Amino acid sequence: MSVSYSYMIDTGWKKMTGFLFRPFRLSRWFIVGFSAFLAYLGEGGYSPNINPKEVMDHNSIQQMKEAYSELTSAIPTGTVFLLVFGIFVVAMIILILWISSRGKFVFLDNVIHEHEQITEPWKEFRKEGNSLFLWRVGFTFLMLAFIGTLVFFLYSYIEAGVNRGESAPFWIYLSFLAVFLATVLYIDLYLNHFVVPIMYKRRTGVLRGWHVFLELWARHPWPFLLYGIIMLGMGIGVFLFVMIAGLLTCCIGFIFLVIPYFNRVITLPFLVWFRAMSLYFLEEFGEEYKLLEPVPEISERNGDEEKGRSGTEEIVSP
């Protein structure tokens, strides 16, 4: 099957500019930006610079063991403290996942219908949002369990190597990390870009949404794999653009970017663009996946606005 990636990029851009700039209304940016804030809550932001080789080095492991021993010896209730802290972290993760799962349908609804609503889609897509939430909770803790198991085996392997006076080769850590990250990123991409829109259109749960998508993916795997690579490249390009723009403002722009809500408002054009691109890409596989109407030309959009304004003037005229 022939898929046009230029179509989704160009049409998605037209959808974004028409929605946010024709006409430009600051109130729309703040409301739709808030829905984007809900949808992407807990995602993105600062990523610590971690060197896997340093983390898994036997000296680092020994330092972590010593730090834990000092904590439990310095604080008589150190274990209880860690347990309470762990419960708090888990509760926050669950809360963030619930809000963002419901928010994804709010943001999607605003992009599709080009309006700025929060309460109505939040209530209307409660069932789909909660289904998505439960799946994401299960997937998140499954990944945490997998990471814990992986770290345990790597730790045992390294400790055994240390006892023999050996050091595990770095490529082992790198290969595990690369495969794991690629798998998780593709799952997250497919969930947000395709499964959620399928759930929205068919008003179905997340398992059914995954079933429909995986059937489509099985028939056309390469276009979807290439889509992920293109999104990665475009994401890097957007990141570099934002960094350059921040530097051109003498780093003042970075002050607003570190505030999550203002970050979403400032980067809203890119969020809407990427959201629209995924919808236009999905509709190339058949009418049953279509969620957006054709993007009107600038003249048509302006004509509709003039017609709406003239109609309003007629109503209010004495």
Closest CA to 32 of 238, 196, 272: 272
- Please tell me the total count of domains within the chain: 1
- Report the amino acid identity of residue 57: D
Q: Per the omega criterion (within 30 degrees of 0), is the bond before 23 cis?
A: yes
Q: Which residue has the tokens 């008589």?
A: 76
Q: Provide the pLDDT confidence category of residue 46 given band limits of 50, 70 and 90.
A: very low
Q: Does 249 fall in a domain? A: yes
Which of the pair, 46 or 80, is modelled with greater confidence? 80
Q: How far is CA 42 from the centre of its chain?
A: 9
d(CA 245, CA 264): 15
pTM of the entire predicted model: 0.81
Q: Provide the pLDDT confidence category of residue 308 given band limits of 50, 70 and 90.
A: very low
pLDDT of residue 201: 96
Q: Does 315 fall in a domain? A: no
Per DSSP, the three-state class of 47 is coil
Q: Does 314 fall in a domain? A: no
- pLDDT digit string, tens, across residues 15-31: 999 999 999 999 999 99
pLDDT of residue 56: 45
Task: Give the dihedral of Cα atoms 221, 222, 225, 231; nearest 10 deg.
Answer: -130
- pLDDT digit string, tens, across residues 231-273: 999 999 999 999 999 898 888 888 888 999 999 999 999 999 9
Q: Does 308 fall in a domain? A: no
Structural domain that includes position 207: 5-302
- pLDDT digit string, tens, across residues 97-119: 999 999 999 999 999 999 999 99
Q: Does 310 fall in a domain? A: no
Q: Does 312 fall in a domain? A: no
Q: Does 238 fall in a domain? A: yes
- pLDDT digit string, tens, across residues 175-213: 777 888 899 999 999 999 999 999 999 999 999 999 999
